[in-house]
Structure 1
Amino acid sequence: MIPGWYADPEAHVFEGRYWLYPTYSARYQEQVHLDAFSSTDLVTWTKHARIVDTAAVKWANKAMWAPSIVQKDGWYYLFFGANDIQNDREQGGIGVARSRSPEGPFTDYLGKPLIERFHNGAQPIDQMVFRDDDGSYYIVYGGWRHCNIAKLNDDFTGFVPFPDGSTFKEITPKGFVEGAYMLRKDGKYYFMWSEGGWTGPNYAVAYAVGDSPFGPFERVGTILKQDSTVATGAGHHSVFQSPRSKKWYIAYHRRPLNDTGRDHRVVSIDELHFDEQGMIRPVKITFDGVVADPIR
C-alpha cells in the first residue's frame, strides 16, 4: 500500500521496476497533478512527484484523473482525463502527455484533448490504452454508464476509423459505470469495469470475456468488492503480472474502515487468480497486501 490518498491505479512493469500511476485523491480543484510510484519488490515504493501537472497542460485546470500509460518507439505516452466536462461546450476530456522516461516529466503532446466530446453518451474519462497482439493500440474509456473503444493511429494524434466508418464503437456491458480495463490472455479478451457509486461502500469490479476487443461482452460476475472487516469501496483497478514469479496481481483503491472522507481512498495490491477454465476467481482483499516479489 502506497502512502497518501490516491485512487484509480494503473500498474506496469517498465525498465526493471514495478510502476503505479494513480489519481491524486482530493477535491477536483486540487487535482492539478499526477504522481507515480515505483518499486523493485511490490513492498517498498519510491514516490515520483508531479510527473505532470496543469502547468505543462495548459487546457487542463482540475480533475486530472485515472492515468493510463504505454511505451512505444522510445516514448512513454500518458493518457489522462481532465476538467470533468459535463457537455460538449466545456473544454476538457482525455489528453495525452509524453516523456522519454516512465518517471517523467511529461509534457503535453497535442496541446488539446485527444477526445473532447461525448460519443455514444460516454463522458470522456477513465481511459485505458492497450496494445493488442497484432500491434494495434486501442483506447477503451467512458463514464456515465457508457463505454467506447477506438483504434489509435500510429503516432497517437488521432484515430483510425473502423471498417464500418465509425470511430467510437460502444461496447457497454450490463452494469458498467466507469473504470474500464482490458487484458488479453490466452487468446481471450478480459474486459473489466467498476460498478456502483465511487463515493459509496459498494463500489466493485466486474468482468466479461470476449473473443475480440469489441466483444460482445456479457457480464460474468464480480471479482472485487468490499470486505466489511478489511475495507469498503474497493474498485477502479488494473491488472499486472510479475515477470519473475509470473504471479498475477490486481492494483485498486479502497476506503479505510470508519473513514467517511469523500476523497480518503488508498491504493492497495492483492493477488489475482485464474481458474483452470481461465475464469477470474473473486479477489480476497487483505490488510497487509502482498509479500515481496522481487522483480529480478
Structure 2
Amino acid sequence: MKQILFFLFVVFYSRTIAQTIVSDNHKNNNPIFKGWYADPEGIIFNKTYWVYPTFSAPYNDQVFLDAFSSPDLTHWTKHSRIIDTSAVKWAKRAMWAPSIIKNKNKYFLFFGANDIQNDKEIGGIGIAVASKPEGPYKDYLGKPLVDKFHNGAQPIDQFVFRDKDGQHYLIYGGWRHCNIAKLKGDFTGFIPFKDKTVFKEITPENYVEGPFMFIRNNKYYFMWSEGGWTGPDYSVAYAIADSPMGPFKRIGKILAQNPKIATGAGHHSVINVPNSDKYYIIYHRRPLTETDANSRETCIEEMHFDENGYIKPVVITNEGVKEHLIK
C-alpha cells in the first residue's frame, strides 16, 4: 500500500512540475530580459536570436551598449558593454538605437551618439566593427558617418537595410524627417544617386523617428514611430511600397499602448524566421507603475498579416511569445 501511495505521489508531483515548467515557459515572458532598455533591434545570426537595445537612462549615463542572445526567444544571455565611449573617441554620451548587419564576415554596428542639435556640434551616426556578434566592437571610421543635418533630419535612429540585390541603404532620422542613402560596399561612405544627391527624404505622414524596413512578397514595408517617446501616445505605423525609395503612403498604426498593460509602446524592429512567414515585433514600452521617461523595457509579440498583406494590429501582452527554435 505504501509503495502504491508513493508511486501515485511521484506521478502527481512529476506532472505538477512538468505543468509548472510549461506554464513558466509560456507566460509572462515580457519583458524579455531584465533592466531598462529601449529602441531594440532584433536580428538572427547563426540560428540565434539577437537583440541590440539602447541602455535607457539619462543621456550622460548612456555611454555603452549591451546585447542579448537567445536560442529560442525565451532564454536570454546578456553580453555586457559590447562597446562604450572609450572605444569611440568622438562619442561622449547618448549612444542610441543600435542597428547591426553582417557584411563580408564582419559585424557592423551602427549607432547614434551625442544627440547633436546643430551642424556645429560633434556627433551623429557612427559605425563600430567586430568579428563576433557579441563584440567587442571598435570604432570603424574614427569619425561619424553622418555628422550633419540633411533635409532637416537629426542624425539619429539609424537602420541599415539590405535590398534584394545586395545594395545596403542607411535609413535614419529624427525631428520628423527621414532620409535614405546608398552605402558603399565597405560602409566607408555613400554612393550618390543618379541625380547626384546623397540623402533623399522619404518622410511619410506623421513620421517622428525610429525607421525600420523589411521585404515581404516583394513589397517594401516601411515602419516608424509616432508621438513623443516620453508619453503614452508613442506608437508604430507603417506604409507599403514597391521600392525602398517609396513613395510611402501611411496605412495606419499597428502598435500602441494598452492602458491595462503598458504605455509608450514604440521604437521597434522586426524579425522574420528564415524560410517561414513567421514574424516577430520587438519594441519597448513603459510599465504602468513607472513615470520616469527612461523606465522602458523591451518586449516581443508575434506579428501577423491579413490576406491582402496588411499588418494586423499587434496586441501587447505580458505573455509575450512561446519558445521557437530556428531550424
- Name 1:51's counterpart in structure 2: 82
- Runs of 4+ in structure 1 deviating by more than 2 angstroms, as ranges, are 242-246
- Name 2:27's counterpart in structure 1: none
| CA apart distance, 1:262 | 1.4
| CA apart distance, 1:184 | 1.2
Q: Is the 8 A contact 1:17 1:39 kept in 2?
A: yes
- Name 1:168's counterpart in structure 2: 199
Question: Which of 94, 103, 128 is residue 72 of structure 1 equivalent to?
Answer: 103
CA distance in 1, matches of 2:180, 2:224: 13
CA distance in 2, matches of 1:249, 1:22: 16
| CA apart distance, 1:205 | 0.2
Please tell me whether residue 113 in structure 1 is matched to residue 138 in structure 2.
no
- Name 2:288's counterpart in structure 1: 257
CA distance in 2, matches of 1:177, 1:245: 31
- Name 2:308's counterpart in structure 1: 277
CA distance in 2, matches of 1:45, 1:106: 20
Aligned runs of 1:1-296 on 2, under 5 Å?
1-243=32-274, 246-296=277-327
CA distance in 2, matches of 1:91, 1:257: 37
2:260 is matched by which residue type in structure 1?
Answer: T
CA distance in 2, matches of 1:294, 1:189: 27
CA distance in 1, matches of 2:47, 2:269: 19
The structure carrying a bigger strand percent of its residues is: 1
Give the RMSD, CA atoms, in angstroms.
0.9
2:60 partner SS: helix
| CA apart distance, 1:258 | 2.6
| CA apart distance, 1:261 | 1.2
Give the TM-score normalised by structure 2: 0.89
| CA apart distance, 1:238 | 0.3
| CA apart distance, 1:131 | 0.4
5+ residue gaps, structure 2, are 1-31
Q: Percent identity?
A: 64
2:282 partner SS: strand
- Report Cα offsets for 1:161-187 as digits up to 9, x if no partner: 000110000000010000000111111
1:55 partner SS: helix
Give the TM-score normalised by structure 1: 0.99
CA distance in 1, matches of 2:72, 2:273: 10
The structure carrying a bigger helix percent of its residues is: 2
1:256 is matched by which residue type in structure 2?
Answer: P
Q: Is the 8 A contact 1:139 1:151 kept in 2?
A: yes
5+ residue gaps, structure 1, are none
| CA apart distance, 1:246 | 4.4
Q: Is the 8 A contact 1:177 1:193 kept in 2?
A: yes
Say which one has the larger Rg. 2
